[in-house]
Amino acid sequence: MPDVVLRRANPADAGAVERVVHDSFRKYVPRIGKPAAPMLADYDAVVAAHRVWVLEADGRIVGALVNEVRDDHLLLDTLAVAPTAQGRGYGARLLARAEADARELGLPEVRLYTHQRMTENHTFYPRHGYVETHRGCVDGYDRVFYAKRIEA
């Protein structure tokens, strides 16, 4: 069993976060016909501006979580697990961290969106208590929006 650590990202982690995001989202490019939105982010800026967490297994970053604090909710912007590390519960651990962030910040809800064609996510998020709130095309992506109320 690998030694697994979940910690806040620091500026030196931005490149590793970008690699994990690209590796994790690459499989969706043929489905949606272009790079997924998280693949276009500047992770130096993201790490500087948001609550970014990394999951390390045996000293290697294998997962990343980007949370944006809003006035009335926490936006889970990106959750990524390296393909070689999937199936070990790391996504659920990162999702729980997002909910803990919301709780610690006194925010009543976590919101997120995913692409309509990222079908695995439409099973994953509801399994963890997220409810679809609506669908729409935003920034050229067909998105499905989810939310989960967080108890204090």
Q: How confident is the model over 47-69, as pLDDT tens digits?
A: 999 999 999 998 999 999 999 99
Tokens 């909910």 sit at which residue?
A: 99
- The model's pLDDT over 72-130, given as tens digits with 9 standing for 90+, comes to 999 999 999 999 999 999 999 999 999 999 999 999 999 999 999 999 999 999 999 99
- Contacts of residue 66, defined as CB under 8 A and 6 or more positions apart, other chains included, come to 38, 41, 46, 50, 51, 52, 76, 77, 78, 79
pLDDT bracket for residue 1 (50, 70, 90): low
Exposed/middle/buried for residue 131 (C-beta within 10 Å: 0-12, 13-18, 19+) = exposed
Distance CA 81, CA 139 (A): 24
Confirm if 70 and 106 have CB atoms less than 8 A apart: no
Confirm if 124 and 91 have CB atoms less than 8 A apart: yes
| pLDDT attached to residue 151 | 86
On the question of pLDDT at 133 being above 80, the answer is: yes
The residue among 137, 145, 121 whose CA lies nearest residue 24 is: 121
| pLDDT attached to residue 129 | 97
Superfamily classification of domain 4-107 = Gcn5-related N-acetyltransferase (GNAT) (3.40.630.30)
Write down the domain spans for the chain. 4-107
Residues facing residue 65 across a β-bridge: 53, 79
